[in-house]
Each structure stands twice: as structure tokens, then as C-alpha cells.
Structure 1
């Protein structure tokens, strides 16, 4: 792995302020000063409960929203202060797969044209024939029949729609994909297929992922490292097996204790670890402390 991380985030912060008669003076710290890196060809899982700031982090990394503070570097280059015109050159390098596969598609556009659109925007194909051939290759790559290119989104299942979104994302040959809970809206039987597809494409194309998810079992299977997010802060980050085998933060322990066990007898006997956020208020002097090589936990200084 290259010593220079593909993506580096330092002090990233996003504060939403409310204005008006009832909301005056109120602010929400959706992302509250986080640091992390994604290495070349690495899969970093970002986990936490709803409202913890995971999806906002993904949007900030992609510059779909501007951060309140902090730095974002892609391949060593700062992208936190550049305008949208300058960002266009990075759009090829950073792609996204959203949670809702149907909402991400244009219902009035044939799916083949939908996948072809970024190829044309970035000038990656010279004519319609070359574009069609490239789209056909992408459909094959994600396990979709080529003749499906002429169909519309309503004709597909959720898993098929997500495969189409993945085809669009990889079409411009990106180096990083932000996968924002890409399996949450899918049937359980299809989730494993999509995760396997992500794994195969990562090995084949050398992709890096910021993989945002709720399903910790899938995260354990797919990701090289895992960052645990709570109320806008990363409270623990470690190599995957190290985190699952030796969680240090009480919130991480609570999340891991909630993973279902497929054995009914063991599931009935499973003891949940309760976590009360009011017992763990974030303090300004909390710092990430390395408790073992590569394993960092948010603790009081």
C-alpha cells in the first residue's frame, strides 16, 4: 500500500444552524472534528447508528456539501477549498453509490443511457458506438445481461437497480467509491450478492471504498479497517478483526453485542450490552489514543 493515503481527512466538521423565530441560535454538529484516512486500494468501513453523521461524512468527502471546518486531501492534494469547476477533475476519481437504488436512477431514462451519461460528460468515449460498447462491458462486469440496457428502472428489482448504479460508478474508472449504505434498502437474500460484487470489483479494479453501513456482519466480511462513529465523532478505529475481537469503547461493545447470531439457542442466550449516551458526553479535550498498533480509541486527555 502506498505511504500516501488516497483520502485524508483532518478536523472535518459540519455544523447545521437553524434560523427563524423558533430555531434561532440552535446548531447541530452533524460531524464534529473527525480524522481518518483511506489507503490506496483499502476498504474502510464507517459504522454507527442512524444520526451519527456517517452519511454527512460521505457527502463532505465527495464535496456534495461544503465542510464548516477541516481539511480533505485526495491523493495528497487539498480539495476542501476548491470551487466546483476545479472539483470536476476529481469527480472521475471519486464516485458514489447511494442507499436507495431507485431514487438514484432517472425513471424517464433507459438504464443504458443512465450508465453512459458520465462517460459522455467526461469525454471518455468518442462516439455512440464506442459508448454503447463500453456500457455493454460495464453491464457484463456487474452481472447484468447486455439487452437490459434498453429497459427503464421500473422494470428491475432492487438488487438489479443497485448493480446498474454500481456500473455507472465504475464506468469512469474511479479510484475511490463512497458507498453510502448501499445494501440497506435491499432484501437480505440480495445483500450478500451486492457485497460480493463490491469485493470482486475491488480486487479486479484496485478500488478503495469508504463503505458506510449498519450491517456489522457485512462490514466484517468486506472491510480492512472499521471506524465507529457516534454523535458526529469517531470513537474507535482499528483493523477489522482487531476491533471485533478487542473492542475498547463502550459504544463499540454495545454495537457488536447487537449482531444477530444465526444459531437460535445462542441468539436467545445472547446478552446485549446497554449503552447510555448521557453517560458518555463528548468533551473538547477528548483525544484519540492508540491502545495497540493501529487501534485508536477516543478518550479523555
Structure 2
């Protein structure tokens, strides 16, 4: 059972707007990439953040990690409001909050041996005293994510996509974080490898008690991995519920359309599948999330 009374992450009214101005500094256009997003993640919980490309999922993740500054709203991590932290305070906070990126190759320095890449966060937070201790810690991390420790001397181009993502995960867990933001971590991988990486995420969660914000558009994987799901559309959360509730009783038409598009691994049922079409429109500013049943929230129209 996930305890929700003391969340590791709490987001309130988070917004990121991009404004275009004319020569005189007057606003001519505003893009509401994220607009009033609120949710929480409990220790050891996985919250799936889903939606089509451009819905604001990755921007939300960047705002939480303080890789971008919000236009409005607050982010509380382990009870501390972090949107106003300085560089020194952010460094200490980032030891407990890590990220796994979508493209495992671009997130690694092509000229740096992967063992050194995994050791970087250990060095940044001074978590070893000797070179021998660092090598031992890196070897343990490689074993933890299913890689041969001897691979630490290789360069990123010598690995497959799945192996590179395992390196990225090893780097993320090196500092024993409380929260990992996984930004579409399986999208760039072969289907046969995706399940292995998802299983690795689940195993690490059981071992470490780490919480995940799992950003994805693959609803099948989200259904398998996540405890709760939040559906984003044009910068707003339109529905949020436990995974079981959402897939059994989706209320928002956009959520219903997404679920109806999921392929079914049965030829007969796939042929009979009825697609639901929804013309995506920006939710009205006055719309608010309403609790339609315990723990099940839907944006009013």
C-alpha cells in the first residue's frame, strides 16, 4: 500500500508560459506549455504522466527538476519548496532527485568511458574517499543494473541502446535518490528491450523504495508499471486516478480516446476494436479538477 499522507513530491499550480513580444515589448502571443498542474507522488510510488506529444509532460518534468524555471506555482520536494533555491541548495537537493532521459546516447559524453560517467555523481557529491572505493562502487552499480563491471572501460558507442539506458539508470541511482524523473526512458528502445528496462525499474523500486515520475505515451507500459496515472492535454491534467480506476472507468473523452487507441494482442479482438475519436482542444481556463469518486479526478468541461 502506498502511503499518500507525506508525499515525496508535491506540485501545486505549476505553470510555464512562453511569451512572444513585439518590438515595443508588448505581448503578442502566449504558449501555455504547462498551465496550473497539481499532483503529488508518495514514497515508493510510480505516477505515470501520459499524453500526446506537445501536451507538456516533459516540460513538467524539467520544471520539477529545476532544469527550467516556472512561470508560476510551487514544487515541494520532501517538504521543502524548491523553486526559489540557489545553486548550492539545488546541488544538495539533486542528490535526492535524479533523472533518466529519453535518448540514452545523447545523455552520455561520447568521449567519456561509461564507468567515469557513472562515477560523475559520486564525485560531484564526494561519496568516495579513494579511487579504489570509486571503482568498487561503480562495479556494484553495473551489477545492480545487469551489466558486466568490465564494461566500465568501454565508450558509449560500444553499447546497444538497452545497455546505454542501463548505464543511464546506474548513474541515476548512484546517489541513492528518493525520486527519479524518467522522461520517456523506453521510447528509443526496441520493443523486446522495453520490457527488460521496465522490469529493472520495478526491481530497483522494490530494493530502494524510490519513487518515479514516469513520463510516457505508451499506455500499455504505463498500465503495467504505474500505481497512478495523470493524463495531460495542452498543458493541463484532464484526468487522474489509480491505474485500475483509469483503465476501468475513464471519464474524460480524451482519456477514452487514448485508451481506445491501445493495440490489443489478439487478432480477433483487434479487428473488432472500436476507436474513439476526440478532437483535442485547449481546456477552458475556468475548468477545475473535480473528484468524481475517491481518488479519481476529472477536469470539468
The TM-score, its normalising length taken from structure 2, stands at 0.97
SS of the equivalent of 1:96 reads strand
Structure 1 position 85, deviation (Å) = 2.0
Corresponding residue of 1:74: 77
2:46–2:225 Cα contact (<8 Å) kept: yes
Q: Which moved more, 1:268-277 or 1:170-179?
A: 268-277
Name the CA distance, whole Å, in 2 between partners of 1:45 and 1:255: 14
2:191 maps to 1:188 = yes
Distance 1:20 1:101, change over 3 A: farther
The answer to whether residue 31 in structure 2 is matched with residue 28 in structure 1 is: yes
Question: How far 1:150 moved relative to its partner?
Answer: 0.3
Aligned-residue offset at 1:19: 3.9
Q: How does 1:218-229 map to 2 (within 5 A)?
A: 218-229=221-232
Secondary structure, aligned partner of 2:7: coil
Partner of 2:14: 12
Q: Tell me which of 174, 190, 207 is aligned to 1:204.
A: 207
Separation in 2, partners of 1:286, 1:20: 30
How many Å separate the matches in 2 of 1:125 and 1:245? 48
Q: Which residue of 1 aligns with 2:158?
A: 155
Equivalence for 1:292 = 293
1:199 is paired with a residue whose SS is: helix
Equivalent-residue separation in structure 1 for 2:86 and 2:149 (angstroms): 38
Given the alignment of the two structures, is residue 267 of structure 1 paired with residue 270 of structure 2, yes or no?
yes
Using the TM superposition, give the Cα deviation of residue 20 of structure 1 relative to its aligned residue in structure 2, in angstroms.
5.4
Distance apart, 1:201 and its partner CA:
0.3
Alignment gaps of 5+ in structure 2? none
2:253 is equivalent to residue 250 of structure 1: yes
CA RMSD of aligned residues (A): 1.2
Give the Å deviation of 1:17.
1.5
CA distance in 2, matches of 1:2, 1:293: 13
- Once the two structures are TM-superposed, the CA of residue 28 in structure 1 deviates from its matched residue by 0.8
- What's the CA shift string for 1:160-208, capped at 9, x where partnerless? 0000000000000100000000000000000000000000000111000
Q: Distance in 1 between matches of 2:167 and 2:12?
A: 33
Q: TM-score, normalised by structure 1?
A: 0.97
Match of residue 118, structure 1, among 115, 118, 121: 121
Structure 1 spans left out of the alignment, 5+ residues:
none
| In structure 1, distance between residues paired with 2:148 and 2:85 | 40
